[in-house]
Amino acid sequence: MYRTHTCGELRLANAGQEVTLSGWVQRVRDKGALIWIDLRDRYGITQLFLQDGVSDPKLIEQARSFGREYVLQAKGTVVERESKNPNMPTGEIEIKVSEFNLLNASKVPPFTIEDESDGGDDLRMKYRYLDLRRNPVRRNLELRHNMAILVRNYLSNLNFLEIETPFLIKSTPEGARDFVVPSRMNPGEFYALPQSPQQYKQLLMVAGFDRYFQIVRCFRDEDLRADRQPEFTQIDCEMSFVEQEDVLNTFEGLAKHLFKEIKGIEFDKFPRMTWHDAMKYYGSDKPDIRFGMKFVELNDVAKGKGFGLFDGAELVVGINAEGCAEYTRKQLDQLTEFVKRPQVGAGGMVYIKYNADGTFKSSVDKFYTADDLKKFADKFGAKPGDLMLILCGPAMKTRKQLNELRLEMGNQLGLRNPQKFAPLWVIDFPLLEWDDETQRYYAMHHPFTAPKPEDEYLLDDPSKWGEIRANAYDIVMNGSEVGGGSIRIHDRVLQNKMFHTLGFTDEQAQEQFGFLMGAFEYGAPPHAGLAFGFDRLCSIFAGADSIRDFIAFPKNNSGRDVMSGSPAPLAKEQLEELEIKLDLKDQKA
Ligand code: ASP
């Protein structure tokens, strides 16, 4: 028997027991007369103890030969510690060792296996199996497991069935780029890896399954922005005979259940905001509502006073940073630099300080009297001591820039506490989104999303397509989109119309989505669904920024697995078998 207990299990009540433990050497502390070894496994650390002159000299010699990460079996007696460690669950006891069994030696690990490791990101990724021995990373995966179990049980209790859908599917051009897989048995033909099980889950509704879910890997070959993974996991769901309200309530229920079980937090109803309001008041379709600082539009007080930039702008809009009137010249310059960075792209920033003594100081004093500036302050509801920050330009662009500034101010003022949670539904997304580059509309969500019935008639008027609202919704937490979905089109005629709107000919639509369209002719029920980004959800519950830490074996920012070395070239024989002809000169050996 390798062990009678784990390294996290023994307590004072076990004192006197003979036990056997197995684990890794966290460290050896050799004080000459006394030697301690911290033995670690997934469950914790237990201190082993030897005493010169008391313990068998052979044991002492053995103990001195052990290095970090050696794998040991240790037998001994549980004894009460003289100096207890209240910070460790096993801190009241130690094991007086009577026998060691070296199970495996270890090279010196390339970084310390401690909560705060000395290893950089790249090194830890290369030796991910060692990184995973560290408590914080292990805890992340435990959280992920616990969340997955809760999700499965919750949905299963509501009659959802978990059904697997294929990974080798047909490539479709809408959405992101597909990862493709060549078919050896069908030379020259390719599968795609699913970006999501969207069409299959809709087919399951046609098949009458009524309620489906799947915790499922999805693949998107997108340019990797920070913290995107080419493969990621969704909690993918679909329901029949439901309206938007049913879907929102069902998945709000799931989110609340997770908050309650994992964080011990109970929520009332999640607030809801239309996409239009989210853009108008926060400049973002995923507003972080842990803090206020709502946008205030200022055209009426800003224009007509001879300040050309404001006069010529489509929108003058700002935020009020409460209590920040004391910001120094340098701090204000830094904010101006911040909004001028190419990632934000504003031309500049106007500030108005509402000083504690009731006077004003602004960067546009030349154009505005104190009375004028008071009108700004009134619009903001600002008090003496506040600082108003204002941007101007084309409406949508300026709102997005102000969103960045608002989030930056939120960070600076400590208003984005990761242990505070602010869920939000954003509803009534636009159905279509214009793309300047290809000069056509794209489905904002996906082509199967239904327009709001009251907006459906606008499909007949191309000049109005940008105004059509969809029955689509996102669930947002702390400024991150954690899920999204929609009511689906279940009527073939409407679906056809949608494909035409997206610029497909009948043949193209048939060729790409024929099987789904065909299925819709055999009694498709009204249906709707949603998918949560599971990795992101886990990171938010942990109050962490990066989703990478919640994936056991993630890719780096260039989509590489630096541990296994993928992607990698294929051997010539493999390529030949697939009948893929590459100019091998160009290939790295
Ligand atoms: N398939 C969608 C997505 O991946 C989610 C949904 O509409 O259910 O975003």
Ligand 1 atom with the smallest distance to the CA of 198 is 1
In sequence order, the β-bridge partners of residue 27 are 38
State the amino acid at position 413 in one-letter form.
L
Say yes or no to pLDDT of 173 above 80: no
Is 117 in contact with 109 (CB distance < 8 Å)? no
Q: Is 198 in the pocket of ligand 1 (CB under 6 A)?
A: yes
Say yes or no to pLDDT of 588 above 60: no
**Mean pLDDT value of segment 8-23:** 98
Query: How remote is the CA of residue 134 from the centroid of ligand 1, in Å?
Result: 34
**Mean pLDDT value of segment 23-41:** 96
Q: What is the pLDDT of residues 118-162, one digit of tens each?
A: 999 999 999 999 999 999 999 999 999 999 999 999 999 999 999
Say yes or no to pLDDT of 443 above 50: yes
What pLDDT, on a 0 to 100 scale, did the predictor assign at position 586?
56
What pLDDT, on a 0 to 100 scale, did the predictor assign at position 514?
85
Q: Superfamily for 138-273+423-572?
A: Bira Bifunctional Protein; Domain 2 (3.30.930.10)
Q: Is 447 in the pocket of ligand 1 (CB under 6 A)?
A: no
Q: Is 529 in the pocket of ligand 1 (CB under 6 A)?
A: yes
Q: What is the pLDDT of residues 232-258, one digit of tens each?
A: 999 999 999 999 999 999 999 999 999
Is 353 in contact with 376 (CB distance < 8 Å)? no
User: Which residue, by CA, sits nearest to atom 8 of ligand 1?
Assistant: 530
Q: What is the pLDDT of residues 53-103, one digit of tens each?
A: 899 999 999 999 999 999 999 999 999 999 999 999 999 999 999 999 999
Query: How remote is the CA of residue 198 from the centroid of ligand 1, in Å?
Result: 6
Q: What angle do CA 11, 14, 16 make, to 5 degrees?
A: 135
Q: Is 485 in the pocket of ligand 1 (CB under 6 A)?
A: yes
Say yes or no to pLDDT of 585 above 70: no
Q: Is 247 in the pocket of ligand 1 (CB under 6 A)?
A: no
Query: How remote is the CA of residue 196 from the centroid of ligand 1, in Å?
Result: 7
Q: Is 533 in the pocket of ligand 1 (CB under 6 A)?
A: no
Q: Is 470 in the pocket of ligand 1 (CB under 6 A)?
A: no
Report, at the CATH architecture level, how domain 12-104 is classified: Beta Barrel (2.40)
User: Which residue, by CA, sits nearest to atom 7 of ligand 1?
Assistant: 485
Q: What angle do CA 292, 295, 299 make, to 5 degrees?
A: 155
Taking the C-alpha atoms of residue 529 and residue 247, their distance in angstroms, rounded to an integer, is 7
Say yes or no to pLDDT of 419 above 50: yes
* DSSP labels, 155-207: HHHTT-EE----SSB---SSSSPPPEEE-SSSTT-EEE--S-SHHHHHHHHHT
Query: Distance of CA 176 to CAs 309, 410, 480, 502, Å?
Result: 38, 32, 19, 15
**Two tokens at 220?**
């998107």
Query: How remote is the CA of residue 236 from the centroid of ligand 1, in Å?
Result: 7
Q: Is 531 in the pocket of ligand 1 (CB under 6 A)?
A: yes
Look up residue 449 and give its DSSP letter.
Answer: B
Strands (E), 183-325: 190-192, 211-219, 231-240, 272-274, 296-297, 315-321
**Mean pLDDT value of segment 98-124:** 95
Query: How remote is the CA of residue 221 from the centroid of ligand 1, in Å?
Result: 16
Q: Specify the DSSP element, H or E, that contains 491.
A: none
* 374: Cβ contacts below 8 Å, ≥ 6 apart: 360
Q: What angle do CA 306, 310, 316 make, to 5 degrees?
A: 145
Instruction: Band the pLDDT of 110: cuts 50, 70, 90.
Output: very high
User: Which residue, by CA, sits nearest to atom 4 of ligand 1?
Assistant: 196
Q: Is 528 in the pocket of ligand 1 (CB under 6 A)?
A: no
Q: What pTM was estimated for this model as a whole? A: 0.94
Is 388 in contact with 352 (CB distance < 8 Å)? yes
Say yes or no to pLDDT of 583 above 80: no
Residue in this structure with the two tokens 């954003």, named with its chain if needed: 426
Residue 36: closest CA among 74, 87, 86: 74
Which of 216, 242, 445, 473 should be mutated for ligand 1, with most atoms under 8 A from CB? 445
Taking the C-alpha atoms of residue 286 and residue 480, their distance in angstroms, rounded to an integer, is 6
Query: How remote is the CA of residue 544 from the centroid of ligand 1, in Å?
Result: 24
Taking the C-alpha atoms of residue 356 and residue 491, their distance in angstroms, rounded to an integer, is 62
Q: Give backbone dihedrals phi and psi of 234, rounded to 5 degrees, phi first.
A: -115, 150
Taking the C-alpha atoms of residue 325 and residue 356, their distance in angstroms, rounded to an integer, is 8
Is 63 in contact with 100 (CB distance < 8 Å)? yes
State the amino acid at position 495 in one-letter form.
Q
135 burial level (CB within 10 Å; 0-12, 13-18, 19+): middle
Which of 174, 205, 446 should be mutated for ligand 1, with most atoms under 8 A from CB? 446
Say yes or no to pLDDT of 589 above 70: no
Rounded to 10 deg, the angle between the 198-206 and 506-519 helix axes is: 50
Residue 279: closest CA among 428, 419, 153: 428
Structural domain boundaries of the chain? 12-104, 138-273+423-572, 291-412
Ligand 1 atom with the smallest distance to the CA of 218 is 4
Sign of dihedral through CA atoms 154, 155, 156, 162?
negative
Q: Is 478 in the pocket of ligand 1 (CB under 6 A)?
A: no
What pLDDT, on a 0 to 100 scale, did the predictor assign at position 174?
67
Collapse the DSSP code of 278 into the 3-class scheme (helix H, G, I; strand E, B; otherwise coil) and give the result.
Answer: helix
**Two tokens at 543?**
């109050």
Q: How far is CA 247 from the centre of its chain?
A: 22
* 337: Cβ contacts below 8 Å, ≥ 6 apart: none
State the amino acid at position 302 in one-letter form.
A
Instruction: Band the pLDDT of 204: cuts 50, 70, 90.
Output: very high
Fold agreement between 138-273+423-572 and 291-412:
no
Query: Distance of CA 435 to CAs 439, 449, 497, Å?
Result: 6, 18, 19
Query: How remote is the CA of residue 56 from the centroid of ligand 1, in Å?
Result: 65
Is 135 in contact with 142 (CB distance < 8 Å)? no
**Mean pLDDT value of segment 332-349:** 97
Taking the C-alpha atoms of residue 63 and residue 141, their distance in angstroms, rounded to an integer, is 32
Taking the C-alpha atoms of residue 415 and residue 420, their distance in angstroms, rounded to an integer, is 9
Ligand 1 atom with the smallest distance to the CA of 530 is 8
**Two tokens at 444?**
């904002």
**Mean pLDDT value of segment 163-190:** 92
Sign of dihedral through CA atoms 493, 495, 496, 500?
positive
What pLDDT, on a 0 to 100 scale, did the predictor assign at position 494?
92
Per CATH, domain 291-412 is 3.30.1360.30: yes
Ligand 1 atom with the smallest distance to the CA of 237 is 8
Residue 533: closest CA among 222, 270, 217, 309: 217
Instruction: Band the pLDDT of 226: cuts 50, 70, 90.
Output: confident
User: Which residue, by CA, sits nearest to atom 1 of ligand 1?
Assistant: 198
